Structure 1
């Protein structure tokens, strides 16, 4: 087993500090390392569990996602907890509050100058603490105290297990799920808020049997090598939301890509690429895909339609590239001048090269005096090559 931790962005008074954790060994070894890191970084402790639910979750993971179950087993060993007792949940599950905004796109090989596929995304989220955000949304008085912003301690995780595909991913505030990532097969996944116009409050019932919102990308990276396999896996998987509903851009190095969405009644939708670039923001793509025929934005939509129109228009043709992806993402970043009632920023911008299985990311460090965002230098992370592990 090998574990290293490195600070890769942020220092002093910067908005965020980003750590890169690299772990190799068995899945249980990796789970143990991530549990210890979560306890150190976030003060994580296992949540009490209903025994029947915990037992059913273990059985589901054993059948469909054994890699995660083994990491839970390793977390239990790190804390001296018997996973078979079913007294606590040995994975950390949190929701993504309503109001976040993200933009993403995929360029298949047929559309790029060098024939390499790229997936890019802006991760847009709140710059407040969870308590301050609740006060803002509910109209309550602003809280006292120095609770850190929810998004101020993200991690890049590079995992090279003995018994599964290597992965490189980014997670905002939990180490057993991810916001986006890529595996050694060149499969990449990114999650985004699915419906900013939804007015119904999400049910938050705690961990359930199946995949939570932020576990779903990690599940695909652990178990699939292609977009086609990912469709089959999702159609066969039990899923639930913890917080606002999300949708997912999934793509592989061959040129196959889709957006996975679920309706309020649990109906499932695979919105496939038509051979060109596939873009997505924060409205259901199955309802509004044509950039020329979009509803008007309002204060609650976080400019999802405007961002979708812009990134789609910038992603046309057969002369696309990683740099064109960066330019399109920068054109829709959220900063202090963006017209939204919430304290949102583009917290990081990521571009995946699916052929080379790399992830290049820059992070938000705060606003300059003139209000423009400050970023860390872009840094590239490679998925470990199987024969070199």
Structure 2
């Protein structure tokens, strides 16, 4: 349907299933909200049309500055490898992506204690990810992607009908070192809206670069990095500037492009990694996962099969990372409530516009004081 109808339908879904309503949509600052609406009118009309549908579902005037219709909130480490078609056994480019995230609830993340009754009412943050296929009839490319946090524009990874593929990763080093400032009232695109904009409007990596560089970016909660690739095998990593700094682009090549959770501009390869780079020393597994992916890729000969890609990404799932630390540290990490799980592994095929994905189901104990992540079978989706 139209973008207005798409926005209205997504809002109705959130109203019915998650209690989305006028209180949830209340704007923090009417003046900032008005400025943001004006920004979208100039830079991202598709999103503005969808937000009008959200307003209609709530029965509110879309020009009412007291309400923010640009998001639909409801109750991230990652590892990605992009394989150009020249090194893929199928001959088409593939984006292979793990999404890691803790199983806790938002209040727990913020350090807020809840009663037993309150705990029963609040779902874990990633309890219900959505696979959304959008087919707008009045502007924007059809697309398929994984949504959470915000049904309207909270895209975590996806592909559009032109074969453009995008995945967003948290910058764990910037989070650890606190080299950024969250902006709850920013003007421009927050971290997940950038992915939605690219899928809606860009057909290749050249267009994606221009779009990213010509827009304002701010971090609502977490600083993020983006891997972008297209059906021709081109790829790049985009890093928005932190607190007013310059944006950075790292170009891909005819070899697999690896991205975990650190800046490729600051740490382009293992030779540039800090001396204290292990999970327990660095406070993040980003360097361990990058080196493991590189070693597994180099340990196989191209072209890489789909099974190769699955096996390579499996080597950096959370349970696999935990299995590589010392026994003492393993016990400590496994008992931590903030420890992530690899919630899904997705394979995006750039020419057939196909998504194959498996989802985390539960933990299974092992005999080394660790655990194994149990998954569903792979499910397949293809854009019409």
User: TM-score, normalized by length of structure 1?
Assistant: 0.85
For 2:279 and 2:262, locate their aligned partners in 1 and report how far apart those are by CA, in whole Å: 13
Alignment of 1:1-389 (within 5 A): 25-44=1-20, 45-92=24-71, 100-135=76-111, 144=116, 145-146=119-120, 147-163=122-138, 164-176=140-152, 177-196=154-173, 198-200=176-178, 203-264=181-242, 265-295=244-274, 296-299=277-280, 301-316=283-298, 317-335=301-319, 338=322, 340=333, 342-370=338-366, 371-384=371-384
Bigger share in strand: 1
Question: Is the contact between residue 131 and residue 143 of structure 1 (CA under 8 Å) also seen in structure 2?
Answer: no
Q: Which residue of structure 1 lines up, in the alignment, with residue 326 of structure 2?
A: none
Distance 1:56 1:337, change over 3 A: closer
Bigger share in helix: 2
Aligned positions, number: 352
> What SS is found at the alignment partner of 2:189?
coil
For 2:27 and 2:303, locate their aligned partners in 1 and report how far apart those are by CA, in whole Å: 53
Question: Is the contact between residue 118 and residue 321 of structure 1 (CA under 8 Å) also seen in structure 2?
Answer: no
> What SS is found at the alignment partner of 1:313?
helix
How far did residue 337 of structure 1 move? Answer: 6.8
For 1:359 and 1:143, locate their aligned partners in 2 and report how far apart those are by CA, in whole Å: 40
Range with bigger deviation, 101-110 or 56-65:
56-65
Segments of 5+ residues of structure 2 without an aligned counterpart are 323-329
How far did residue 130 of structure 1 move? Answer: 1.3
> What SS is found at the alignment partner of 2:237?
strand
For 1:165 and 1:269, locate their aligned partners in 2 and report how far apart those are by CA, in whole Å: 26
For 2:115 and 2:79, locate their aligned partners in 1 and report how far apart those are by CA, in whole Å: 31
Q: Which residue of structure 1 lines up, in the alignment, with residue 327 of structure 2?
A: none
> What SS is found at the alignment partner of 1:320?
coil
> What SS is found at the alignment partner of 1:329?
helix
How far did residue 178 of structure 1 move? Answer: 0.7
For 1:337 and 1:291, locate their aligned partners in 2 and report how far apart those are by CA, in whole Å: 17
Q: Which residue of structure 2 lines up, in the alignment, with residue 8 of structure 1?
A: none
User: TM-score, normalized by length of structure 2?
Assistant: 0.86
For 1:112 and 1:202, locate their aligned partners in 2 and report how far apart those are by CA, in whole Å: 37
For 1:125 and 1:349, locate their aligned partners in 2 and report how far apart those are by CA, in whole Å: 12
Distance 1:116 1:336, change over 3 A: closer
What RMSD over aligned residues (CA atoms) do the two structures have, in Å? 2.1
> What SS is found at the alignment partner of 1:83?
coil
How far did residue 83 of structure 1 move? Answer: 1.1
